[in-house]
Structure 1
Amino acid sequence: MTAPAASAADPDAGPIHWHRGADGIVTLTMDAPGRTANTMDAAFVTALTAAADRLEGERDTVRGIIVTSAKETFFAGGDLDELIAAGPEDARQVFDFATALKRALRRIETLGVPVVAAVNGTALGGGLELALACHHRIVLDGPDTRLGLPEVTLGLLPGGGGVARTVRLLGIADALRHVLLEGTRHTPSRALELGLVHQVVTSPEEMLGAARAHIDAHPASRQPWDEEGYRIPGGTPATRSLAAVLPSFAAHLVRRTGGAPLPAPRNILAAAVEGAQVDFEGAQLIESRYFTELVVGQTSKNMTQAFFFDLRTVNAGAARPEGEPAHRVRRVGVVGAGMMGAGIAHVCARAGIDVVLQDVSREAALRGRAHAERLVAASVARGRMTEAEAAALTARITATDTIEDLAGCEVVVEAVFEDTALKHQVLAAVERVVGESALLCTNTSTLPVGGLAEAVGRPEDFLGLHFFSPVHRMPLVEIVRGARTGDRALARAFDLVRQIGRTPIVVNDGRGFFTSRVIARFLQEGVAMVGEGVAPSSVEQAAARAGYPTGVLALLDELTLTLPRRVRAEDRAAASAAGEEWVPHPADALLDRMVEEYGRTGRAGGAGFYEYGEDGARAGLWPELGERLAPGGRVELPMADLTERLLFVEALDSIRLLEEGVLTSVADANVGSLLGIGFPPWTGGVLQYVNGYPGGLDGFVARARELADRYGPRFAPPALLLAKAAAGELFGEVRYRPAPEVPAVV
């Protein structure tokens, strides 16, 4: 990142175009040359500084200013290519860049003439910060228009005055709650309700007309916080009522992060609270310091790599076969109306697709349809859907017990119980009634697609579509390509997943594929710790400290303890059939005792690693768990070992899946682990965690060997990892220099 020059002679030569009308109103139109969106890079800040110079020089002839955009979006935010490349040695340049941006905005903001933002599309991050620096904000409504400061989701904080201005505009509590800490992307109507914008209009003509009308009505406009005697809504930390509330935000961060190394929420809270106690210029300085710390740190690089670059790569279709025409589905069949099948039917219908939901009885099919009705009713209650939209959605789902009703479906997804024989029976019946061009899919989470393909006569049109539960909330679908799956089928599946608003990763066939196999390692490791004598509460704390959304034992209870036992039996049978040696895991014996000796099968059975009340609510860990299942007695292990064991077993097995050819893309691995199985966001995903580990791949190899010496050969570095470390390589294309001094676990 290079600090911008002080000024430029001609703003029209860069990304900001100047136009002054006969009425004395200057329109600054942002239009970065050669780019699809405006970004806050060095060229933009240089142009903004030049515009400020010219506005000050021609102040006597300027009656008002309109800031708008020539792009479809208003402004896309910071230039992440520049930000992710900045290392600790670039801290001064990062700070100077933020200071130059703030200075230019502040000069325009304090000219003494009205400044209006005509927001003609999405304004996120730096885009909203630009608008907040204007006295009046008018937004052109649109179904996809969003406004917000989502920097926290990339491990950053708003560095263009967003913290200082939202705190003064909304108050500390509302700014933190509604804008800063969650990074929520608001609709125009919600932004208006919150007070982030002043008007929402329906046409470009109305937007520009309203901007001029505001300038006419407010010839000497100023920001509220520049008015004499202005007080921050709700007060400052010195205000007794606010002082009583602020500790709850700190407690919220502790609960949310669980001790994981997520510095962005902490820095945002600090910048908001500290900035409220000084003048506006001091608040901007505080914000820049906290911003710089995050930009040059490793966590923001991990999160930006995954949640921007890798996610964009995946959604753009890097794994989609080239040359295959785009396909849009009109009618989908779903066989099996349980929670999973009903969820698939709901998300397809929500995307405007007609759905045939089939089960063995009409009553079962209607129960599945009722599940979708409950989901849309909840959306209506929250104001996210109208009654008419809800009625239209549920009308698109046809519940039936007749498999012949699947005729005419372009895609059929089988979502019955995880049993090979049952799936064979269902798939064969489906193929008999659908057309020869229909795409055939199975929603299996563990069974190899190749084995299931034996039931169909067109294996080239068959693949796995692994949805995650609950389907309406989980953004990922794992597409599993069988050995005989054709490119046409894979492209059609990819297009369907994008059509229903989900993110598709593509993996090759194998038992458990990617996500199910890797999360199984996480669960096994936690159970193994309990068997070693680690306090169960420490195991759950280790998961929280590592950044997992749910404790190991709590998650296993949700999935049921019988599931890994069934998967183990299938794996063992498959190994035997292939003439391979079966190696039991240290967790196996403990799981067997939980089920066979104590009858504890998980939450659905009323008892597992946790106790449950009559209403099914979790009531704490089973008090006898540690003493009954750790024959060697209690042991105390370093918390760093416990957290890294959980992280390393998933990362190491992901590398093995690359070696085996199940995973073919680093981006798919990172995105799939984050969106599908809850790998901690701060890591950037299973392989980005390896890239960003202190010392890079060499440091990761050294730590893996330590863990292998202490806890077993499952932590031994795979050959691919050793080869990359020896060659000085990283996994995949990365856009930064690793910062070895940033700790992986705090």
Structure 2
Amino acid sequence: MNTLKLEVDADGIALVTIDLPGRPMNVLATELIADLGLMLDEVVARVDVRGVVICSGKSNGFIAGGDLKELVEAHDRGWTPQRGVECVWELSSLFRRLETCGKPVAAAMNGLALGGGLELALACHYRVLADDPKAVVGLPEVTIGLLPGAGGTQRLSRLIGIEKALPLILGGDHVKPAVAAKLGIVHALAPLADVVATARRWLLESPDPVQPWDKKGFRVPGGAGCLAPQASQSFMLGTAGVRGRYLDNYPAPKAILSAVFEGTQLPIDRGLAVEAKYFGRLLVDPVARNIMRTTFINRTAANKLVRRPAAVPKSAVRRLGILGAGTMGGGIAYCAASAGIDVVLLDATQENADRGKDYSRRILAKDLERGRTTADKMDALLARIHPVTRYEALDGCDLVIEAVFEDRAIKAGVTAKAEAVIAPDAIFASNTSTLMIGTLAEKSSRPANFIGMHFFSPVDKMPLVEVIVGKQTSDTALARALDLVGQLRKTPIVVNDGPAFYTTRVFCTYVDEGLQMLADGVEPALIENAARNAGMPIGPLAVLDETTQELRWKVILQAQADGLPVQFTHPAGREVLRALVEDHKRLGRRQGGGLYEYPAGAKKHLWPGIAAAFPAGADQPDVEDLKKRLLYVQALEAARCYEQGIVTEAADADLGSVLGVGYPTWTGGTLSFIDTVGIRPFVDECRRLAARWGARFEPSPWLVARAERGERFYPLPA
């Protein structure tokens, strides 16, 4: 058995230590499942074994869950729901054998036990959890489009009752030790060093090898079925709540409700079969594939800096310079100081520089109030941020990030001043979101060391950094920029230079389409609701207010002045934007209001003047058509970026759209959406949209040729 070790002591206690070789954490990989089966056969057969303790050989936790790489290809391999049931039934039946083997089994959890890890523990007769903040337990499968398929929905509901279990399963919550003990998920807490000894003590003193649900007369705590006191709250209101939150885009929450409702009214074995049935359906659904592939597998690879040039030695930024102490600069400073980096935060005046440091002070003050940090840690972090006005303070910085106004002349000025001070091998990065890196690098004395690092606002919350490679950017600059992103614990994508790069181009099509819908006479509330129903986190009109109409109009005018192709002057919705800025002086939230009003102490609402400025038509379109327009226009722009070599990896396109733009997670991202629809049907629908709404929806000959070949952005597994 390669994944675990079995030792039997003089008292007849078998210690099973799980330790997957070559893995940073234990996961329920196929090899481990097979070894657990062999282990169970052995301990049952051996007369000298009176009980079993299952523990982890990894210092960072018990078992993190299933092996997603083994699950993500189920849809692409053409599995049927029945094949999905068979996949999970091997594990579910193994856990059932474990809890009915006739010998008491205890789980000694030294750290996190999530998903299948907690399901294994729930199949044990006794559970001990380390009394450590990192030792969380939970069933987070809903976050990857699945449900707990190895007994989680059935055992947890029978253990603590449906009313307490269902919110944990639907939310995918991580439960801390004290709460897990209070709820009854675990029997005991123990110091980290004593978890195995505590489990062993139970086996020697008072073991019971029969689960509560296998005892005669067992009833689910709080009841099950329609007549249970909690049924209305858990299932009737729960169904409405799930639909309100997920808007029918995510099948997993409804499947969880059904599995719990149906399964808990049946004996445990039949309940497990019900659970497996719903798991099988979800596993072969493209939504689960999309979520697992993009938000876990591809994101994990990006976090490991998969795009980093391997030949460049690893580096670490010890001292970071930031030019501009506004919202972006202040946010970057906070993230860097949080990562232990010394920060020089430079602005034109000391007042502005100090205000940039105050950004961190405000965040930390809230954390201190909520018990998330201590005064000492707060003071230490703030001490790493040095607000200054003199460029000489940048001396010794390994990397400098420019985060000043989107103005080429201003950027050129600060670049020259910084490069006059920093070391010849220091990297200079621009946080621009619209200006081409190549044109900015023209004003640099060291273009090989010049790169784009596009952060997203608010920086302390947004996980993405878009790293933009100019024509003269060296591999060294790229590697060192990615190393910094890794230090900041953010997720990078790498794109090539071009007007508006990748994420801004995709984002702009979303906002443009919302504005064009206003021009087409669509009710503004219908536009916003259609966007939310599609899965976008915020409607296009509301998000424009946040980024400001004034800034967007300046970008369009600059694109015209630069002679960029017509698509970069945003013809869709441009007249609406011009009217907002020039005729109605509705410039955005920061300027007092735009398409929304922001009354003090009250909820924002649509600007009453919209009706007169942009009259709605008598006939309103179907919401499904609006959803298609908003999703297809972004996916089509992503395909254009891929065609033009702005983004070279489908994974980067998907991560950028989901983490940076807010493209719906259920799609897996813009290019995954095309694959999910099917490239041929996608092209056909684009042509229909183009005929009805304009040439911006017309697929390029390149995309049409891909469709004719049936060429996906993610090839099918061999």
| TM-score (norm. length: structure 1) | 0.90
Question: Greater CA deviation, 44-53 or 160-169?
Answer: 44-53
Give the length in aligned residue pairs. 714
Relative to structure 1, the CA distance from residue 385 to residue 191 in structure 2 (aligned partners, 3 Å threshold; closer, same or farther) is farther
**Residue in 1 that maps onto 2:659:** 675
Aligned to 1:741: none
Q: Structure 1: how far apart are the matches of 2:266 and 2:494?
A: 51
Whether 1:27 aligns to 2:9 is no
Query: Is structure 2 residue 642 aligned with structure 1 residue 658?
Result: yes
CA distance in 1, matches of 2:107, 2:53: 6
- CA pair 390-491 structure 1, distance change in 2 beyond 3 A: same
What's the Cα RMSD here?
Answer: 2.6
Q: How does 1:92-241 map to 2 (within 5 A)?
A: 92-140=82-130, 146-177=136-167, 179-186=168-175, 191=180, 195-199=184-188, 201=190, 203=192, 205-220=193-208, 222-226=210-214, 232-236=220-224, 238-240=227-229
User: What residue is the counterpart of 2:472 in the other structure?
Assistant: 484
Offset at 1:241? 5.0
- 1:520-551 CA distances to partner (integer Å, 9 max, x unpaired)? 00010011111111121211121112111111
Matches within 5 A, 1:7-26: 12=1, 15-26=3-14
Written as runs of structure 1 = structure 2, the 5 A alignment for 1:323-334 is: 323-334=311-322
Amino acid at match of 1:501: R
SS in 2 for 1:480: strand
Residues 534-574 of structure 1: CA deviation (Å, up to 9, x unaligned): 12121112111211111111111111122221121121112
Structure 2 contact 162–234 (Cα < 8 Å) conserved: no
Q: Does 1:729 align with 2:711?
A: yes
Q: Secondary structure at the match of 2:72?
A: helix
- What amino acid sits opposite 1:129 in the alignment? E
What is the CA deviation profile of residues 44-81 of structure 1, one whole-angstrom value per residue up to 9, with x for unaligned ones?
444433444444444x5432111123345533422333
SS in 2 for 1:465: strand
Question: 1:450·1:482 contact (CA, 8 Å) conserved in 2?
Answer: yes
Could you tell me how far 1:247 is from its partner in structure 2?
4.2
Name the structure 1 match of 2:260. Answer: 272
Structure 2 gaps, min length 5:
none
Identity %: 42
**Is the partner of 1:440 in helix, strand or coil?**
strand
Report which stretch shifted further, 19-28 or 727-736.
Answer: 727-736
After TM superposition, the score normalised by the length of structure 2 is: 0.93
| Residues 1:614 and 2:603 aligned together | no
Give 2:687's aligned amino acid.
R
Deviations 1:303-333 (A, max 9, x none): 1121222213322323111211111111112
- Distance change (3 Å), C-alpha of 1:586 and 1:151: same
Question: What's 1:687 paired with?
Answer: 671
Name the counterpart of 1:600: 586
SS at structure 1 position matched to 2:17:
strand
- Which position in structure 1 is the counterpart of 2:240? 251
Alignment of 1:696-711 (within 5 A): 696-711=678-693
CA contact (8 A) 1:39 1:79 kept: yes
Kept in 2: contact 1:321–1:490 (CA 8 A): yes
Residue matched to 1:516: 504
Determine if contact 2:548/2:590 at 8 Å carries over to the other structure: yes
Q: Once the 2 structures are TM-superposed, how far is the Cα of residue 144 of structure 1 from its aligned partner?
A: 6.1
Q: How many Å apart are 1:657 and its aligned residue?
A: 0.9
Residues 528-547 of structure 1 aligned to structure 2 (within 5 Å) = 528-547=516-535
Partner of 1:740: none
Distance 1:595 1:404 in 2: 40
Q: Deviations over 1:674-721 (max 9, x none)?
A: 11110000000111111111xx21111111111111111111112332
Q: Does 1:629 align with 2:614?
A: yes
Q: Which amino acid aligns with 1:440?
A: F
Structure 1 match to 2:700: 718
Which letter maps to 1:722? Answer: V
For 1:383, the equivalent position in structure 2 comes to: 371
Shift in CA distance, 679/208, structure 1 to aligned 2, threshold 3 Å:
same
Matched letter for residue 703 of structure 2: L
TM-superposed CA distance for 1:30, in Å, is 2.9
Give 1:510 deviation, angstroms: 1.6
Matched, 1:65 2:49: no
CA spacing shift, 1:569–1:118, aligned 2, 3 Å: same
Q: Which residue of 1 aligns with 2:515?
A: 527
How far does the alpha carbon of each residue in 1:393-436 deviate from its partner, in whole angstroms, 9 at most, with x for none?
A: 12211222333222222111111222221111112111122222
Shift of 1:659: 1.8
Distance 1:426 1:366 in 2: 19
Provide the rounded CA distance (Å) in 1 between the counterparts of 2:521 and 2:244. Answer: 26
Cα shift readout 1:155-184 (whole Å, capped 9, x = no counterpart): 11111111222223343343333x322323
Query: Residue 420 of structure 2 aligns to a residue in which SS?
Result: helix
Partner SS state of residue 621, structure 2: coil
Aligned residue identity for 2:699: P
Q: Which moves more between the two structures, 590-599 or 645-654?
A: 590-599
Residue in 1 that maps onto 2:622: 638
1:588 correspondence with 2:574: yes
Gaps of 5+ in 1: 1-11, 737-746
Change in 2 beyond 3 A, CA 1:708/1:424: same
Aligned equivalents of 1:518, 1:612: Cα separation in 2: 27
Q: Distance in 1 between matches of 2:223 and 2:371?
A: 31
Deviations 1:476-530 (A, max 9, x none): 1111111211111110110110111100111111221111111000010011111
The answer to whether the 8 Å contact 2:139/2:172 transfers is yes
Q: Specify the code of the residue in structure 2 equivalent to 1:510.
A: G
Residue number in structure 2 paired with 1:288: 276
Q: CA deviation at 1:189?
A: 6.0
Report the equivalent of 1:348: 336
When residues 241 and 698 of structure 1 are mapped into structure 2, their CA distance, relative to the original with a 3 A threshold, is closer
Equivalent residues of 1:305, 1:735 under 8 A apart: no
1:655–1:720 contact (8 Å) kept in structure 2: no
**How far off is 1:351 after superposition?**
0.8
How far did residue 209 of structure 1 move? 1.9
Cα deviation, residue 188, structure 1: 5.2
Relative to structure 1, the CA distance from residue 726 to residue 138 in structure 2 (aligned partners, 3 Å threshold; closer, same or farther) is: same
Kindly tell me: are residues 396 and 116 of structure 1, through their superposed partners in 2, closer, same or farther at Cα, counting changes over 3 Å? same
